[in-house]
Structure 1
Amino acid sequence: MSTSLEQLASQAIALSPEDRARLADLLLASLPDEADESLDEAWDQEIQRRLGAVESGTARLVSATDVHAAAHNIYRR
């Protein structure tokens, strides 16, 4: 990482969480659309794979209640 990039990163980290989030949004929006398109395509494929598993009955479905209980147990440790 170049010195100027390190300085910029250090300054960015010193920002409030809200300003860091805004900066992250601005930086992500500045990336070429091709990156977004490849991510969108990958997510579309993953969604179709998961939907197919649910429809075929091969997916192991977990209720939201069970997920919340498991998460609660993890954080209690």
Structure 2
Amino acid sequence: MPDVVADLAEQARSLPAEERSRLVDLLIESLHDSPMAEVEAAWAKEIERCVAAYERGEVQTYAAEDVFAEARRIAP
């Protein structure tokens, strides 16, 4: 009886690295109860919430130059 998993693994090894990585992502995603679409929808909702808070002026913002300067100061 053929070992389907071993055969698939052998075929996968012949793929370019980028395609192997994509295959791994797809296989891992298939193990989770929550499909990736739900995760992406949750992130989209969070992004909308953050943008709305920004547009209402509820979020304190900082200039990029200041953020990068502080990052360089604490992690040279």
Q: With the length of structure 2 as denominator, give the TM-score of the two structures.
A: 0.58
- Determine which of 24, 27, 40 is the counterpart of 1:27: 24
Equivalent-residue separation in structure 2 for 1:24 and 1:71 (angstroms): 32
The corresponding residue for 2:47 is 47
Unaligned residue ranges in structure 1 (runs of 5+): 1-18
Equivalent-residue separation in structure 2 for 1:75 and 1:26 (angstroms): 36
Equivalent-residue separation in structure 2 for 1:25 and 1:69 (angstroms): 36
Mapping 1:1-77, distance limit 5 Å? 22=18, 24-30=21-27, 31-32=29-30, 35-76=35-76
Deviation at 1:24, TM superposition (A): 4.5
Q: Percent identity?
A: 27
Q: With the length of structure 1 as denominator, give the TM-score of the two structures.
A: 0.58
| 1:27 partner letter | V
After superposition, give the CA deviation of every residue in 1:14-69 in whole Å (9 maximum; x if it has no partner).
Answer: xxxxx6xx45543113323x521111111111111111111100011111111101
The number of equivalent residue pairs is 56
Q: Which structure dedicates a bigger proportion of its chain to helix?
A: 1
Unaligned residue ranges in structure 2 (runs of 5+): 1-16
Q: RMSD value over aligned CA atoms?
A: 2.3
Larger Rg: 2
